Structure 1
Amino acid sequence: MFWDNHMHSNFSGDSKAEPIDMINAARAKKLRGITFTDHMDLDYPPKYGFFELDPYSYYEAQHKLALEQSDDNFTVLTGIELGIQPHIADDIYKVAKEIPFDFIIGSTHLIDKQDPYFDTFWESRDARQLLTRYYECVLENITAFTDFDTVAHLDYAFRYAKDPTVKEDTHQPYFEIVDEILNKIIKMDKSLEINTGGLRKGLANPNPALSIVKRYHELGGKMITLGADAHEPAHVAADFEKLPDMLNTCGFKEFMVYKNRKPEAYPL
C-alpha cells in the first residue's frame, strides 16, 4: 500500500499530464494515496524553460480536486516542490507560511544558476569539481531556507553526468560534505527523500544512492519519504516494488507521509 509523495502535473513547466490522469494511474496501481508536488522554481534561468508557478491558484485547484477524488481507500494531498536558492529564501518562506500545503519538498536544481540537466553545464569544469559544488549548493540552500519537510533527490546532479565513472559514485568522493548535509537534515528533524527517478533513468540506485541512505540511518536519520518524480501517468510509483528490499538493507522499515505538514508513518 505505497504512497507516491513526489509527482508533477501540467501545473509544472515540464509536464503535460492532467492531474486526473495521474490520480487514475495511481488508483490503477492500487496506491494508498498520492501527493501532488508541482514545481515552483523562482528565478529559474529563462534559457532553460519556465518553472514559475502561481502557488495560490495552484493550491486552490489541486486542493479542490483532492477533496473530490479522496475516499476511504485512496487519498489525494496537495504539496509543492520548491526550488531553493539563498537569494529567493524570503519569497518561498512567504509561500510556505501563507498556503496550507500538506507537504513541501526542498530541492536543489541549480548550481550557480546552471542546471545539470543540460549538457552545457558539464562543459564548464571538471565533473568532480562541479559535483562537489553541487553538494555545497545543497548545504547552502537548506541552511538559507528551512521550511520544508523533505530533501529531494539528494544526488540529483549525478543523474545527468556524462562520465560513467563519476555517475554512479555519488558518495565516497564527497563523503565529508554528504555527512554534513545528512547531519543537518537529522538535526532539523526533516526527512530524506528516496526518489526512484534515478532507477527509471537507468541508474543502479535511486536518488540518493543506497550507500547515502544507509549512512543517513547510521548517523541517526529515521524519516524517509518515497517519490517517483513522475511527470506522466506511466511513471507514477515507478520501481516502487524494488524499494522494500533496498531500504530494509539500509535499516528502514517505514516511510513518512506528510499531512498538514505533519509526518505519519507507513510500513514498507
Structure 2
Amino acid sequence: MFWDNHMHCNFSGDSEADPLDMINVAKAKGLRGITFTDHLDLGYPQEYGFFDLDIENYYPTHHKLALENSTDEFTILTGLEVGLQPWAKNENEEIVKAYPFDFIIGSTHLIDRLDPYFDSSWENTTPEALLTRYYECILENINTFTDFDSLGHLDYAFRYVKDSSIKNNTYEPYKDIVDAILQIIVNKDKALEINSKALSKGMKYPNPHKDIVKRYHELGGKLITIGADAHSPDGIAADFDFLPDFLNECGFTEYAVYQKRNPVFYPLR
C-alpha cells in the first residue's frame, strides 16, 4: 500500500484538477495516503504563463480537506514543490516556515530562466551543453537553499530531450557533477525523490536514472521518497508497480513519507 508523495491540483498553474477528485481516485486505487505538493516557483518567466501559487489560501484549503477526508486507512498531507533559484532563497525560506507543511520537495525547473519543458529552450545550444548547465544549476541551488526534505526529479530536464540515446544516459557523461550533487544531499541528510512520471516520457527508468539511484546508495544515501508527479487524477501512482524491484536492485527496501517534516518509513513490499 503505497503513498504518492508528489501531486498537483488546481493550486498549481499547470493543473486544473479538483483536489477532491485527486483524493477520491487515490482512495479508489488503494493508496495508504497522499501528499499534495503544488508548485511554488517564484519568478517563473511570465512568457510561460503559469506557476503562480495562491499561498495564503493554499495550506488552509488543503488542511480543511485533510480534516474532512482523512480516515484511519487513508491520510492526506500537505507539502510544497519549491522551484529552486539562488535569488529566491530568502522568500522561499519565509514561505516554507510560515505554514506547518509536512513535506518540501526542492526542484530545479529552470536553467537560467529557461524551462526545458519548452522546445524553445533547446534552440541555439546543444543538448549536452544545456544538460550540463542544468546539473550546474541544481548544484548552485542546493548550495544556496537547504530547507527542503527531498530533491525532486533530479534528471528532470532529460524528459524533454528528443534523442533517446541522450534521454536515457543521464549519469555517465555527467558523473562528476552528479556525484557532487548526491554527496551534498547525503551530507545534509536529504532524501532523493523517485519520480515515476519519467516512465511516461520515454525514459527507461524513473527520475532519476537507475545508475544515479545506485550511486546515491553507494555514497551513503538512505532516504527515498516516491511520487508520480500527477497533474490529474489518472496520473496518481502511475507506474508504481515498477518501483519495488527497481529500488530493491538499487539497494533500498523502504521509502520515507514526511509528516511534519520528519521521515516515517514504509516497506516497499
CA deviation string 1:183-230 (max 9, x = no partner): 000001010000001012221110001110011001100000000000
Q: Report if aligned partners of 2:11, 2:54 keep a CA contact under 8 Å in 1.
A: no
Does residue 31 (structure 1) correspond to residue 31 (structure 2)? The answer is yes
* Aligned pairs for 1:64-79 within 5 A: 64-79=64-79
Does residue 129 (structure 1) correspond to residue 129 (structure 2)? The answer is yes
- Name the CA distance, whole Å, in 2 between partners of 1:55 and 1:257: 23
- In the TM superposition, what is the alpha-carbon distance from 1:96 to its structure 2 partner? 1.1
- Name the CA distance, whole Å, in 1 between partners of 2:143 and 2:124: 26
- In the TM superposition, what is the alpha-carbon distance from 1:126 to its structure 2 partner? 1.0
Q: TM-score, normalised by structure 2?
A: 0.98
- In the TM superposition, what is the alpha-carbon distance from 1:49 to its structure 2 partner? 1.7
- Name the CA distance, whole Å, in 1 between partners of 2:55 and 2:212: 32
Letter of the structure 1 residue corresponding to residue 11 of structure 2: F
Letter of the structure 2 residue corresponding to residue 156 of structure 1: Y
Question: 2:138: which partner in 1?
Answer: 138
- In the TM superposition, what is the alpha-carbon distance from 1:107 to its structure 2 partner? 0.5
Question: 2:85: which partner in 1?
Answer: 85
Work out the number of aligned pairs and report it: 268
- Name the CA distance, whole Å, in 2 between partners of 1:137 and 1:100: 28
Q: Report if aligned partners of 1:122, 1:162 keep a CA contact under 8 Å in 2.
A: no
- In the TM superposition, what is the alpha-carbon distance from 1:163 to its structure 2 partner? 2.1
- Name the CA distance, whole Å, in 1 between partners of 2:245 and 2:220: 20
C-alpha root-mean-square deviation of aligned residues, in Å?
Answer: 0.7
Q: Report if aligned partners of 1:225, 1:256 keep a CA contact under 8 Å in 2.
A: yes
Q: TM-score, normalised by structure 1?
A: 0.99
- Name the CA distance, whole Å, in 1 between partners of 2:165 and 2:33: 37
Question: 2:238: which partner in 1?
Answer: 238
Q: Report if aligned partners of 2:33, 2:76 keep a CA contact under 8 Å in 1.
A: yes
- Name the CA distance, whole Å, in 2 between partners of 1:240 and 1:124: 37
* Aligned pairs for 1:35-46 within 5 A: 35-46=35-46
CA deviation string 1:14-63 (max 9, x = no partner): 00100011011110110000000000101000111221212231001011
Q: Larger deviation: 254-263 or 197-206? A: 197-206
Question: 2:120: which partner in 1?
Answer: 120
- Name the CA distance, whole Å, in 2 between partners of 1:137 and 1:124: 19
Gaps of 5+ in 2: none
Among the aligned pairs, what percent are the same residue? 63
- In the TM superposition, what is the alpha-carbon distance from 1:165 to its structure 2 partner? 2.2
Letter of the structure 1 residue corresponding to residue 47 of structure 2: K
Q: Report if aligned partners of 1:8, 1:39 keep a CA contact under 8 Å in 2.
A: yes
SS at match of 1:47: helix
Gaps of 5+ in 1: none
Question: 2:156: which partner in 1?
Answer: 156
